[in-house]
Amino acid sequence: MLQSISKLKLYLYLFFFVFLSSIFNFKLIENFQDRFILKQVNINGLSNNEKKIIENELSNFQNINIFKLRKDKLIESLNKFNFLENIYVNKIIPSSININLSKTSILGKTLLNGKKFYIGENGKFINSKQLFEKNDVATVFGNFKIDEYLNLLKILKDHNLDINSIKKYSYYKNKRWDLLFSNDLTLMLPSKDIEKSIKVYKKLLDNGNLINIKIIDLRITNQIILTKNNE
């Protein structure tokens, strides 16, 4: 009988030992896992206002285990902001991430469905509500594709023309451009052989042949039509 009681006590001791050990182990595991929960997101390369909208977008990633945090999901969320050009994400063990961001250059502004958008060098339209800095850039009118506009700017830059002196671009259905400069000179380009026409304009400009000229019409091949201010 005494032996049975002793065995019972032993079993009870073993039970409580296992039970208490399990509680301790669960607590230990819980504390260990908590150590690797994302607690801090460090954003570099943006203004304070821009940081705030990024932090708000990434708030749903808080309290996720850093080892389970997928960089592609983070980048997918950040790609909603079209003003970003480069995105670098680094996990910092145990509980933080560093996000280094750089903004694209703003090359113009336009209207899409009645709303103001900026044109990024990264080839994206950027909702003006995403930007907090003032951007004094040319206005672009017409139903154009960004690649067409960026290609035009490249041609202008390749021929050492100052694009900052252009205040308005107008794009037409026949795929040609008019450029209005800050001195109110209008350059009318053809739909084809734009680069050839830019060379003609550059030669006129370098030779000083544009005094008192308000319109340069290069739409017709091998013709230069100049309209003076008093005409």
Per-residue pLDDT of the chain (231 residues), as tens digits, is 434 556 555 555 555 445 445 544 444 444 445 677 888 889 999 989 899 999 999 888 888 888 888 889 999 999 999 999 999 999 888 888 999 999 999 999 999 999 999 999 999 999 998 888 878 999 999 999 999 999 999 999 999 999 999 999 999 999 999 999 999 999 999 999 999 999 999 999 988 878 899 999 999 988 999 999 876
Residue 17 pLDDT: 47
Number of domains in the chain: 1
**Does residue 204 lie within any of the structural domains?**
yes
**Does residue 40 lie within any of the structural domains?**
no
Q: Which domain holds residue 187?
A: 138-228
Global pTM reads 0.80
**Does residue 10 lie within any of the structural domains?**
no
Give the burial string for 189-214 (b: 16+ CB within 10 Å, else e).
bbeeebeebbeebeebeeeeebeebe
**Does residue 56 lie within any of the structural domains?**
no
**Does residue 123 lie within any of the structural domains?**
no
CATH number at 154 reads: 3.40.50.11690
Task: Say how far apart CA 220 and CA 196 lie, in whole Å.
Answer: 12
**Does residue 178 lie within any of the structural domains?**
yes
**Does residue 122 lie within any of the structural domains?**
no
**Does residue 153 lie within any of the structural domains?**
yes
